[in-house]
Amino acid sequence: MTQSISVKCKLIVHQELRREIDRTLEGFANACNQILTTAKDAKCWNVTKLHHLVYHPVRLSTGLKANHVCQAIRRVVGNAKVVKQIHKFRPSSISLDARTFKYDESKQVAGITLISGRFNVPLKIGGYQIALLRGQTPTSATLNKTRQGDYFINIVVEIESEPTGKTPKVIGVDLGRTDIATTSTGASWSGKHIQATRDSYSKTRANIQSKRTRSARRLMRRLQGRETRYQKWLNHNISKQLVREAKQLDATLAFEDLTNIRQSLNQLPRNKTERRRTNNWAFYQLRVFVAYKAIVAGVRVVFVPPAYTSKSCSRCGHVHPETDKKRRTPSGENAHGSVTRPKSYRHGKKFNCGHCGLEHDADINAACNIAALGRSVSSPESPGFSCRLEGQLDLFPVALL
């Protein structure tokens, strides 16, 4: 079993070659925009049919090689399947295939076909990239130009991955903003530093946003790049540790399916700061990083519905969606003389169960509930996860997504 991953390598490009690469990137972007216009007018999104419509006119107008035009057609059709509305393509990247790209391991150079011909470009890479590329014969890559003017090539390689198998052990992972991730085994990664970093960048952007100078725009781009890189670095480290722990324990990783969570949260009455923090929550990036690392390591990943995982008691399964606000006497009687049972509630990092008396860390309690749901997916013969909700016994539906 193999897994495709992208190895990011920096290119050492001299000044003359920069002009050739930029000219090719411009031509590729122009080709994509022409193809997009034709596809919209003809309402044609089939690669073969679109090829017959645009191949010759695009080659004549852009001067691109034949394979560049073919890749441009695939780029437009591929983007149309993912993005509902495609905007104008920018000259920032170009797709390469086996005829327009070749990796030379002995010389550590990348052979790239541009408009004016073939060029061997040296790679500036470290031991990690060298190890991933060792013995590989990659047949596809993407050449990118950053906003800072640097050139990178993302080389697609196939690496062996261990087969995943069923295991009775499941580690539940609760994702959040206060703590980025908390596991049912007690591991936790605080989100205070990343939240403080994002708030700091937001204040800085607000101060310079009114300035429309060129230096202000450059500063905005630098700030955005730093913030994005820091978030990506953090999620890479967390995902690496999650997969490592699951591998050591021979366990499955269980996550909540948080699809459309931002839309749901933004429908609630929230101030501008809370809305910004919610929209900056990079839980999906963490999920993607965990997914591909888990495939390589042979760790299974399942997703479960998030309903009531934070409101359920991980010991007795009891759920009370609201806090009991009735005034009680020391004996537990209310104002009418009847005995009322205190209800379960979550307050900040603390969870209290009014049914069995459990007091626990709220995030770990939720992670334990996620693990119980995950066991129902990983081992369908298990009894599952049930809760007592307002006098009714409900079974949570779970599914492997």
User: Tokens 């216009």, residue?
Assistant: 37
Q: What is the CA radius of gyration of the chain?
A: 27
Instruction: Give tens-digit pLDDT for 357-372.
Output: 888 888 898 999 999 9
Q: Which helix (H) or strand (E) holds 1?
A: none
10-19, 207-216, 238-247, 352-361: least confidently modelled range: 207-216
Region 245-265: what's the mean pLDDT?
A: 83
Instruction: Return the structure tokens found at 112.
Output: 């790239």
What are the chain's domains?
2-160 (no CATH), 162-201+231-401 (3.30.420)
Q: Which stretches does DSSP call E strand in 40-164?
A: 93-96, 101-104, 109-114, 117-124, 141-145, 151-160
Closest CA to 173 of 27, 309, 323, 350: 309
The tens digit of pLDDT for each residue in 3-62 reads: 788 999 999 999 999 999 999 999 999 999 999 999 999 999 999 999 999 999 999 999
3-state SS assignment for residue 187: coil
